[in-house]
Structure 1
Amino acid sequence: MIPLARRITAVCALGAALTACGTAGTTSSHAPSRSPVSASPTATRPPVLTPGPGGLTPVFEHGPRTLGKTVALTFDADMTADEGPRAADGEHFDNPDLIATLRTLKVPATVFMTGRWADQYPAQARALGKDPQFEVANHSYSHYAFTADCYGLPTVGADRMRDDVQRAYDSLRKAGVPKPMPYFRFPGGCYDQQALRALSGLGVTAVQWDVVSGDAFATDADAVVRQVLDGVKPGSVVVMHCTRSAAPTTERVVRSVVPELRKRGYRFVKVSELIGQSGAKH
């Protein structure tokens, strides 16, 4: 585990193109409020965690361990604000084969999408947002870090953090995602008290994970499969990526992990179900 963690840190420092390279954030307080996401007032709102002291944005890492063998696969659709030229030159930040495999295997999943990714791939964003098998959540607009020293990512100033999240929701809706979820994943998984305070009042629950797949820049699919299978527990949230160029093994990993976890008695759910099991409010 330690050598893999070091390798993940090193590759993230090279490009930091992916969201969740590394471990969970530096702080883990629990707390949302006024949602920039929700549909009409009469619609059923997705579950969110109760705000922490002073309305601090809550952080969710995994579901209950005692309510059966459930696991949520999450996929970060990463693209930073300055990667447009790379996409124009032919780099693929999407992964249609992965999404097709999830559909074939009938695996519900949560996709954390940057606004820049939705701008680049609006048809794919819209298809995911309208497919009941998936839920689309916020991964910032820029994929710039909300703390300093986050795997080499550029940073967002505290005064721009709320705008970056709101801009992502604007891009998701513009792409045709009808009901983006009130869940937010920090780029790189990096956050601190300042970042949680900056997002207070937005109504979002910050979603981390308890299983790092290690698919970021991985070339050995079997090693990623082993890491996922060794880490999953009841209620786990697994972080993977939906970015072909920087996570090329993920589709193969899913083809191996899903049947094995089902054989072990696990049921795949979206993040919203795990949050709902955690005493969340609606």
Structure 2
Amino acid sequence: MTYVRRFALVCALGALGVGATACGGGGGSAGHPARKVVSAPASAAPSRPPTLAPGPAGLTPVFKSAAHSPVRTVALTFDADMTADEGPRAAAGEHFDNPALIATLRRLKVPATVFMTGRWADEYPAEARSIGADPLFEVANHSYSHYAFTGDCYGLPTVPPARMRSDVERAFTAFRKAGVKRTVPYFRFPGGCYDQRALRALTPAGVTAVQWDVVSGDAFATDSDAVAQQVLDGVRPGSVVVMHCTRSAAPATERAVRAVVPKLRERGYRFVRVSELIGTAAGRPSR
């Protein structure tokens, strides 16, 4: 079974409460302690978005959601996945981008955070630049290679510990090369898999790791109604929803978003970027 199909299966089980940890409920570090939220300088973006304080022993901090938030805010996040070895598939016509999804978010005026791999930015520089220039969005780091930072992560190849930091920094370099302006110092582990070794390796990079508490189940899904319902059932105030910005791997996502957005707005939810969600948790005023 391929990585993406296994990911979809595990996430679908997660919706039923079965083994959802690796889908982002707690990442690859079960029982990871909550992090204190602080406002810290971030060299990756001139707007200095909020970050989390380092964890015990200076480990990279992890943000999952703004649980128990008193206001109805929700962050939709989209992983723009492309692994380092998928160039031949793109050359053969496979679409790892999703312009219709970005257009729908713009039309509906939905702020969002796009977790982009550096390889994706290399393949679609004009789209990466357009997303990064739009104040509706912010671009966060999803590694350069989309290789796993732990072993046994949905069949993904692994990044050696000595190259973990450089893989993250290479993605930021790819964003700059593509002309992406609105980058934030947030990082999402490929597959949501991490452990203390990975957190320690990334400490010098100065990023905050961002997981999620709502699995959309959009990976390889064709039933947009089922994806939308899974999101609607899972969202709570302060939630972070993980979705995908890849036509070939998540063909139903754009239709699901069209269903989710008006229904959540009817429930009184306001869509925000991850930076605002962290900032609200830190006590910054909502924008």
* Alignment match of 1:147 (pick from 150, 154, 165): 150
Distance 1:184 1:6, change over 3 A: closer
CA contact (8 A) 2:221 2:251 kept: yes
- Whether contact under 8 Å (2:7, 2:154) holds in the other structure is no
| Deviation (angstroms), 1:9 | 3.5
> Which residue of 2 is the match for residue 37 of structure 1?
44
SS in 1 for 2:90: helix
19, 26, 29: which one pairs with 2:28? 26
Which of 189, 193, 198 aligns to 1:195? It is: 198
8 Å Cα contact 1:64-1:234 kept in structure 2: yes
Residue 227 of structure 1: which of 225, 230, 238 is its match?
A: 230
What is the match of residue 14 of structure 1? none
User: Could you tell me which residue of structure 2 aligns to residue 161 of structure 1?
Assistant: 164
Preserved CA contact (<8 Å) 2:121 2:128: yes
Counterpart in 2 of 1:15?
A: none
Residue 9 of structure 1 is matched in structure 2 by 10
Q: Deviations over 1:54-89 (max 9, x none)?
A: 211000000142321000000000000000000000
Inter-partner Cα distance in structure 1 for 2:8 and 2:163: 31
| Corresponding position of 2:65 | 62
1:141–1:7 CA distance, 2 compared to 1 (3 A): closer
CA contact (8 A) 1:34 1:201 kept: no
Contact 1:92–1:245, Cα closer than 8 Å, also in 2: yes
CA contact (8 A) 1:107 1:268 kept: yes
The offset of 1:204, in angstroms, is: 0.6
Cα pair 1:94 1:244 within 8 Å, conserved: yes
Unaligned runs of 5+ in 1: 12-19
- Is 1:242 aligned to residue 245 of structure 2? yes
**RCO higher in structure (CA 8 A, sep ≥6):** 1
What letter is aligned with 2:28?
Answer: T
Match of 1:266, as an amino acid?
Y
Whether 2:274 is the aligned partner of 1:271: answer yes
Say what the alpha-carbon RMSD is for the aligned residues. 2.3
Label 1:158 to 1:207 Cα distance change in 2 as closer, same or farther (>3 A). Answer: same
Tell me the equivalent position of 1:102: 105
Identity within the alignment, %: 69
Matches of 1:144 and 1:57 in 2, distance apart? 19
Deviation at 1:223, TM superposition (A): 0.9
Q: CA–CA distance in 2 between the matches of 1:38 and 1:23?
A: 25
Counterpart of 1:158, as a letter, is: P
Letter of the structure 2 residue corresponding to residue 273 of structure 1: E
Q: Residues 228 and 260 of structure 2 are in contact (CA less than 8 Å); yes or no, is this contact kept in structure 1?
A: yes
Gaps of at least 5 residues in structure 2 are: 13-20
TM-score with structure 1 setting the length: 0.89
1:132, 1:38 → 2: CA distance? 13
TM-score, normalized by length of structure 2? 0.87
> What SS class does the counterpart of residue 181 from structure 1 fall into?
strand
Deviations 1:135-176 (A, max 9, x none): 000000000000000011110010000000000000011100
User: What is the CA-CA distance between 1:102 and the residue it aligns to?
Assistant: 0.4
Paired residues in the alignment total 266
Q: Check the 8 A contact 1:72/1:109 in 2, yes or no.
A: yes
Partner of 1:148: helix, strand, or coil? Answer: coil
Q: 2:22, 2:28 within 8 Å by CA — same for their partners in 1?
A: no
The CA deviation at 1:5 is 8.6
Q: Which residue of the other structure, out of 195, 214, 218, is the alignment partner of 1:211?
A: 214
Checking the alignment, whether the CA contact within 8 Å between 2:137 and 2:182 is kept in structure 1 is no
Shift of 1:52: 1.1
